[in-house]
A = this chain, B = another copy of it.
Amino acid sequence: MDVVSYRPEPHELAWTFGGVPAVRTVPPGTVLELWTEDAFAGKVRSSDDLVSEVIEFPFVNPLTGPFYVEGAEVGDTLAVHFVSIEPSRDWAASSTIPLFGALTSTHVTATLQDPLPELVWMYDVDRVGRTVTFRAGESTDEISMPLDPMHGTVGVAPANLEARSSLVPDAHGGNMDTPEMRAGVTCFLNVNVEGALFGLGDGHCRQGEGETCGVAVEAAMDTTLILDLIKGTPTPWPRLESDDYLMSAGSARPLEDAFRIAQHDLVTWIGAECGLSPMDAYQLVTQATESPIANVCDPNYTVVAKIRKRYLPQHDAYAGAHARLREMAAAYQAARL
């Protein structure tokens, strides 16, 4: 088992998918022990650290990577199995950012109103008790909620010769901001350029569905994952597999198009995988799907379509890659003890 540990220096952080050289080259099957900085580049450390003052755009939402995967070619799929995602600090931060978020006008949903105030909330992270604690800014309320670590931004270099900001989710993955991207899950991403050029960041201690104000409980993360390669199989939009679910993630505006992409991909995927006709798959998905919204704040909005594997006829997605990577992860973790 190849294991590579990597903690980027500040100058090694990437701010786009595509357009930057690889920080490491790894063979398929490599276990990566990584550290990711938080979306604020670590610069929001108290409620006085306003994003508009401490961050110089576009240097927000840094990525660890990209990693060049040996043998990855256009037409292949990169499998990313999350072994563990753990906050690396005992605090995390959230914020409002002027003209960013779902319940404000923005630079594109442009209005003549004044922006909402810019505020910061600092969270306590209890890694043993597995909670994060919200403290109200204008009252004395404190609320503990379960820790549920995830990565908002997971992707590869995009197609069409493009380089995209780390803030953007699209067919290459990127800033999808779905709470489904947690440990134990395998994410499948299309390879658009040689080497795939995988990167990730934007750890969240937890996040509501939709990331309403635009900013989750942002945290640096110690993350272990396995990169693997499925040769000769493309993946039109990001897909995820957990022990219980198959999922597709669509990103677009308006939000109904993100829904359509995810549902269309799930229908065609399970149709092909399970031997159902397109119309039968459409009917089955209609009655069985769960449709949690991921984000309604980023340059594209993201919706997930997920279906319980036990509602599906016989199937074996990506030739059992998820189960195989689950076993590799268990072996890795056993060896670590």
Contact = CB atoms under 8 A, between A and B. Distances in A.
B212 A263 contact: yes
B290 A116 contact: no
A275 interface: yes
Interface residues of A, number: 94
A209 B252 contact: no
A213 B145 contact: no
Interface in A46-78: 57-58
A161 interface: yes
Given A19-B163, A165-B161, A110 B103 contact: yes
A121 interface: yes
A5 interface: no
Contacts of A40: none
- Looking at A19, A112, A162, A253, the one whose CB has the most chain B CB atoms below 10 A away is A112
A186 to B, nearest CB: 23
A98 B210 CA distance: 27
Nearest to A58: B160
Interface stretch (A134-142, A238-246, A316-324): A134-142
Given A105-B105, A313-B143, A117 B256 contact: no
A304 to B, nearest CB: 10
Interface in A201-245: 206-217
B274 A216 contact: no
Interface stretch (A24-32, A83-91, A278-286, A326-334): A278-286
Contact of A109 (B162, B255, B260): B260
Given A19-B19, A267-B103, A112 B278 contact: yes
Contacts of A278: 112
B282 A112 contact: yes
A96 B138 contact: no
B134 A284 contact: yes
Given A58-B159, A139-B277, A162-B162, 19 more contacts: A15-B161, A58-B161, A94-B287, A104-B111, A110-B250, A110-B261, A111-B116, A111-B264, A119-B279, A134-B287, A141-B313, A145-B288, A162-B164, A208-B290, A211-B286, A212-B263, A212-B285, A254-B255, A293-B303
8 contacts: A19-B162, A102-B260, A112-B264, A113-B115, A136-B280, A137-B277, A253-B256, A255-B255
